[in-house]
A and B are shown apart, each in its own frame.
Chain A
């Protein structure tokens, strides 16, 4: 009798424990803590640091940064957790509540996950560090509302990638067209759309296997044609009003010019041929007279090529005399879960200092976010000549950010599809900008 009743009690109790555990397991992760101190504490702390630089040259660089930090800051330990397959795994870590103290995000992710990032304004102020890009700051500019929190700075930049324009000087000479820097615009040496078209079409005529312009990815990515419209005074999204902004004369004019080069002149590859044919010619990417260079790595490739190549400044709008190109940036954020935000802030500003950023720049893995490095002679020596130096500095001055709005990731995906129809010469620019704006409004409303 006793044994039966105790068995029943046992079953009852164990059942309750299992049910309780199941319910407890379903409870959301521990709520993020808020920051209550703007100064570092004196006790030894350990910071979890999630970053993608976990292999190859980048890992070696990161190890060097961490070793130096450990020597100079023995009271602030860093637990480095490299995140492979970063683009996919970071969102999963965010969803799982595995935020650590410091995380790396690229700009579009930060728009989506801005709630993860702590407001760093008090730490900038407490340390007397100007906001990035502001007077006295050693860091380059960042989006106005990084992480989409108006009036707050929620991230410190870590690496920049800007698209460059490259030319094959051999093909320019063969076609008998002036080099980009040989065009004179009221005393200034730069090239505009018309100069670009002339060069691309002349090179295109050189032979069947030679492409005039391979600059076009044909969508809105970094080396896409949207840059032309932005240079002409258009904007990617009307951020203030959270609305579409393509149906404007400035935007349409820029797009129309580029689309005409594809659909009328045949001097530029369309969206599909860029991917399929460009590589198929076997001399990719330098089958083209003009070529977008989407990464720093490609820039290094330029220096090793047998062809006479160089980077040049982006083509400018004939109306505004301006150039523009999308840049992408990776940021370090201090998570709102961190118990040691002041120390974390100290570490991420350390990663952006001149010495570390120069090492990154010289390794060729990314462009630096430290403004001083851009003026550094050692770094400039890696660019390949005076035209390239001018081009890089032009790119630094004129790159534009992806709009910092929730929903912009989905917007990118959808616009690629919609604008692809135009770049396949199937729909007119005027018709499609209306649809693009409608879609933009829909997506931004759904995410607001």
Chain B
């Protein structure tokens, strides 16, 4: 009886080489992605079921952190309320402002490069520096109140009054909508002229041009901004950390700031990990909702 013939795997150096070269090229990214993203991602998931206070062993405590987060810790509800309010204050208004400014900056007037640069400039300044600058601007005796004083209005103590603190941070966010504006501006410049001419032939005016041509054409860029801004605003931290430290009371206690405090001020890494995962799930849900809703208002050229 003849034994079955063993078939040697058909692997040759020539066939392997492109694979090896390919892996070698992406290995710097792969290694950093694995160790700096995947590993912490998994570790934080595991830690969220533990009590871990930086030293000693992490103790497995099952769903205790999640139970505390959802049912016992009222600061979680406070911080979510603050964060969602901030999203509502900044994302719709910020989008509207960036569209409006982009349209203005798309006009053929003298000195337009100067205006474009001016509106974009605040986006270039780093977060901490900008936050410090706005702290000065909104101080009780700062320039905003000085200007209000000229017309007989006594300005509030913007950052230290419960009613004004969060709107003040939102004001700062709106004044720095330059990055979104730039993307919209690029989209505006890509709108084909013949579509406007078609509207003119149909007897449409400026409003018709904007509503039936401009808006649909730039809607993918608006959608992109809404997604990115929502995610960014949900993760807001620097403004509150630098300008108000979450106060007065919990008026500006963003979820990200509360998470930071649990981790790096109270050293409750397990609980902070659970909070981080909840934030991830909330952002994921918001993004999915945004995508579902997008089909009703975002226009893509290739779609029916």
- Chain A residues near B (Cβ < 8 Å): 1, 4, 7, 88, 91, 94-95, 112-113, 115-116, 271-273, 275-277, 279-282, 406, 409-410, 413-414, 417, 420-421, 424, 442, 447
Contact = CB atoms under 8 A, between A and B. Distances in A.
B247 interface: yes
A377 B161 CA distance: 46
A281 B265 CA distance: 32
Contact of B249 (A4, A94, A420, A447): A420
Nearest to A406: B53
Given A113-B55, A272-B161, A273-B160, A410 B268 contact: yes
Chain A binding surface SS class: helix
Contacts, number: 70
For B13, B54, B141, B157, the residue with the greatest tally of chain A CB atoms inside 10 Å of its CB is: B54
Interface residues of B, number: 27
Given A272-B248, A276-B160, A421-B249, A409 B267 contact: yes
Contacts of A91: 54, 264, 267
For A276, A277, A447, the residue with the greatest tally of chain B CB atoms inside 10 Å of its CB is: A276
Contact of A94 (B11, B54, B247, B265): B54
A309 B249 CA distance: 33
A99 B261 CA distance: 23
Contact of B141 (A271, A272, A282, A410): A282
B160 A112 contact: no
B42 to A, nearest CB: 11
B98 to A, nearest CB: 31
B141 A280 contact: yes
11 contacts: A91-B264, A112-B267, A115-B55, A272-B160, A272-B161, A272-B162, A276-B157, A410-B265, A413-B261, A417-B75, A447-B53
A409 B265 contact: yes
A281 B145 CA distance: 13
A86 to B, nearest CB: 13
For A94, A113, A275, A406, the residue with the greatest tally of chain B CB atoms inside 10 Å of its CB is: A275
Given A410-B265, A410-B266, 13 more contacts: A1-B8, A4-B8, A272-B161, A276-B140, A277-B140, A277-B160, A280-B157, A281-B141, A409-B265, A420-B247, A421-B249, A424-B162, A424-B249
A87 to B, nearest CB: 9
Contacts of A273: 157, 160
